[in-house]
Amino acid sequence: MPAYRFESLDYPVSERKLNGYYVDIEAQETPSEPHEHPGAEIVYVLRGELVINIAGEDYALHMGDSIYFDSAYSHTYRRRGQAHCSAVVVVTA
Protein backbone atom coordinates (compact mmCIF):
# COMPACT_ATOMS: atom_id res chain seq x y z
CA MET A 1 0.00 0.00 0.00
CA PRO A 2 1.41 3.43 -0.85
CA ALA A 3 2.24 5.79 2.00
CA TYR A 4 0.08 8.52 0.46
CA ARG A 5 -2.25 9.20 -2.48
CA PHE A 6 -2.21 12.44 -4.44
CA GLU A 7 -5.16 13.76 -6.46
CA SER A 8 -4.42 16.67 -8.78
CA LEU A 9 -6.60 19.72 -8.16
CA ASP A 10 -5.53 21.53 -11.33
CA TYR A 11 -5.46 18.86 -14.02
CA PRO A 12 -5.62 19.41 -17.06
CA VAL A 13 -4.64 23.09 -16.85
CA SER A 14 -1.63 23.76 -19.06
CA GLU A 15 1.30 26.05 -18.27
CA ARG A 16 0.62 25.92 -14.53
CA LYS A 17 2.64 28.13 -12.20
CA LEU A 18 1.48 26.10 -9.20
CA ASN A 19 0.46 22.46 -8.74
CA GLY A 20 -2.28 21.75 -6.22
CA TYR A 21 -3.05 18.33 -4.74
CA TYR A 22 -5.49 16.77 -2.32
CA VAL A 23 -3.56 14.14 -0.36
CA ASP A 24 -4.67 11.17 1.72
CA ILE A 25 -1.89 9.93 3.98
CA GLU A 26 -2.46 6.19 4.28
CA ALA A 27 0.48 4.72 6.15
CA GLN A 28 0.68 5.25 9.88
CA GLU A 29 4.21 5.82 11.17
CA THR A 30 5.68 4.76 7.81
CA PRO A 31 7.13 7.78 6.01
CA SER A 32 6.85 8.32 2.30
CA GLU A 33 9.99 7.96 0.24
CA PRO A 34 12.31 10.94 0.75
CA HIS A 35 12.05 13.33 -2.17
CA GLU A 36 12.98 16.85 -3.18
CA HIS A 37 12.21 19.14 -6.07
CA PRO A 38 12.99 22.74 -7.01
CA GLY A 39 10.75 25.48 -5.65
CA ALA A 40 8.55 25.84 -2.60
CA GLU A 41 5.76 23.84 -1.01
CA ILE A 42 2.80 24.69 1.21
CA VAL A 43 0.92 22.00 3.14
CA TYR A 44 -2.42 22.65 4.86
CA VAL A 45 -3.80 19.82 7.03
CA LEU A 46 -7.54 19.25 6.57
CA ARG A 47 -7.92 16.32 8.93
CA GLY A 48 -5.82 14.26 11.34
CA GLU A 49 -2.17 14.71 12.26
CA LEU A 50 0.64 14.84 9.71
CA VAL A 51 4.35 14.70 10.42
CA ILE A 52 6.58 16.22 7.76
CA ASN A 53 10.30 15.58 7.99
CA ILE A 54 12.30 18.32 6.26
CA ALA A 55 16.07 17.90 6.07
CA GLY A 56 16.03 15.53 9.06
CA GLU A 57 13.73 17.57 11.33
CA ASP A 58 10.14 16.52 12.17
CA TYR A 59 7.27 19.02 12.13
CA ALA A 60 3.95 17.79 13.57
CA LEU A 61 0.91 19.44 12.00
CA HIS A 62 -2.68 19.10 13.22
CA MET A 63 -5.99 19.94 11.54
CA GLY A 64 -5.87 23.61 10.50
CA ASP A 65 -2.06 23.86 10.63
CA SER A 66 0.07 24.75 7.64
CA ILE A 67 3.73 24.86 6.73
CA TYR A 68 5.73 26.55 3.96
CA PHE A 69 9.19 25.25 3.07
CA ASP A 70 11.89 25.11 0.42
CA SER A 71 11.14 21.82 -1.33
CA ALA A 72 14.75 21.50 -2.53
CA TYR A 73 15.37 19.98 0.93
CA SER A 74 14.64 16.27 1.21
CA HIS A 75 11.23 15.74 2.80
CA THR A 76 8.81 12.96 3.75
CA TYR A 77 5.22 12.72 4.99
CA ARG A 78 3.67 10.33 7.52
CA ARG A 79 0.42 10.11 9.43
CA ARG A 80 0.54 10.05 13.21
CA GLY A 81 -2.19 8.21 15.08
CA GLN A 82 -5.21 6.21 13.98
CA ALA A 83 -7.33 9.08 12.60
CA HIS A 84 -7.74 9.62 8.88
CA CYS A 85 -5.28 12.25 7.63
CA SER A 86 -5.71 14.49 4.60
CA ALA A 87 -4.11 17.70 3.40
CA VAL A 88 -3.88 20.16 0.54
CA VAL A 89 -0.37 20.43 -0.90
CA VAL A 90 0.62 23.25 -3.26
CA VAL A 91 4.00 23.26 -4.99
CA THR A 92 5.55 25.66 -7.45
CA ALA A 93 5.79 24.23 -10.94
Residue from 57, 54, 61 nearest 81 by CA: 61
- pTM for this structure? 0.88
pLDDT in tens, 35-93: 999 999 999 999 999 999 999 999 999 999 999 999 999 999 889 988 889 999 999 97
Round to whole Å and give the CA distance between 86 and 3: 12
Per-residue pLDDT of 76-88, as tens digits, reads 988 998 888 999 9
For residue 43, the model assigns a pLDDT of 97
| pLDDT for position 2 | 60
CATH of domain 4-92: 2.60.120.10
Domain boundaries, the chain: 4-92
80, 63 Cβ separation under 8 angstroms: no
